[in-house]
Amino acid sequence: MGKPKALVTRPLFPAARAILDECFDAEYWTSAERIPRAELLRRVADKEALVCLLTEKVDEELLAAAPKLRIVATMSVGYDNIDVPACTRRKIVATHTPGVLDETTADFAWTLLMAIARRLVEGDAWVRAGTWPGWDLDQLLGGDVWGKTLGIIGFGRIGRGVARRAQGFRMRVLYHDAVRAPRDVESEFHAEFAERDRLLAESDFVSLHVPLLPETRHLIGKEALEKMKRTAYLINTSRGPVVDEAALARALEEKKIAGAALDVYEREPEVHPALLARKDVILAPHIASATVETRTNMAVMAARNAAALFQGRRPPNALNADALGL
Ligand code: DGY
SS3 letters for the chain?
Answer: CCCCEEEECCCCCHHHHHHHHHHCEEEECCCCCCCCHHHHHHHHCCCCEEEECCCCCECHHHHHCCCCCCEEEECCCCCCCECHHHHHHCCCEEECCCCCCHHHHHHHHHHHHHHHHCCHHHHHHHHHHCCCCCCCCCCCCCCCCCCCEEEEECCCHHHHHHHHHHHHHCCEEEEECCCCCCHHHHHHCCEEECCHHHHHHHCCEEEECCCCCCCCCCCECHHHHHHCCCCCEEEECCCHHHECHHHHHHHHHCCCCCEEEECCCCECCECCHHHHCCCCEEECCCCCCCCHHHHHHHHHHHHHHHHHHHCCCCCCCECCCCCCCC
As a whole number, mean pLDDT of residues 128-148 equals: 98
> Using CA atoms, how far apart are residues 171 and 191, in angstroms rounded to an integer?
10
- Give the pLDDT band (50/70/90) at residue 95: very high
Substitution site in 289, 293, 294 for ligand 1 pocket (most atoms within 8 Å of beta carbon): 289
Residues with CB under 6 Å of ligand 1 are: 54, 76-78, 101, 289
Distances (CA, A) of 115 to 32, 110, 126: 30, 8, 15
* Atom of ligand 1 lying closest to residue 239 CA: 5
pLDDT for 73 equals 98
pLDDT for 74 equals 98
CA of 76 to the centre of ligand 1 (A): 4
CA of 214 to the centre of ligand 1 (A): 18
Q: Are the CB atoms for 258 and 285 separated by under 8 Å?
A: no
Whether the pLDDT of residue 92 is over 90: the answer is yes
pLDDT tens readout for residues 202-242: 999 999 999 999 999 999 999 999 999 999 999 999 999 99
Whether the pLDDT of residue 1 is over 90: the answer is no
pTM of the entire structure? Answer: 0.96
Nearest CA to ligand 1 atom 4: 76
pLDDT tens readout for residues 50-72: 999 999 999 999 999 999 999 99
Percent of the chain predicted with pLDDT > 90: 100
As a whole number, mean pLDDT of residues 180-203 equals: 98
Substitution site in 52, 54, 213 for ligand 1 pocket (most atoms within 8 Å of beta carbon): 54
Neighbours of 254 (CB within 10 A): 11
- Give the pLDDT band (50/70/90) at residue 149: very high
Q: Supply the residues annotated as catalytic.
A: 239, 268, 286
* Atom of ligand 1 lying closest to residue 96 CA: 2
List Cβ neighbours of 86 (8 Å cut-off, separation of 6 or more): 59, 60, 63
Give bridge partners of residue 48 from the DSSP assignment: none
As a whole number, mean pLDDT of residues 83-100 equals: 98
As a whole number, mean pLDDT of residues 176-180 equals: 97
- Give the pLDDT band (50/70/90) at residue 190: very high
As a whole number, mean pLDDT of residues 188-206 equals: 98
- The whole-chain average pLDDT of the chain stands at 98
As a whole number, mean pLDDT of residues 1-28 equals: 97
- Give the pLDDT band (50/70/90) at residue 320: very high
Nearest CA-CA partner of 15 in 257, 227, 313, 295: 295
Lowest mean pLDDT among 1-5, 101-105, 141-145, 191-195: 1-5
As a whole number, mean pLDDT of residues 300-312 equals: 98
Torsion angles phi and psi, residue 259, rounded to 5: 180, 175
pLDDT for 36 equals 98
As a whole number, mean pLDDT of residues 145-149 equals: 98
pLDDT for 124 equals 98
Query: Amino acid identity of 278?
Result: R
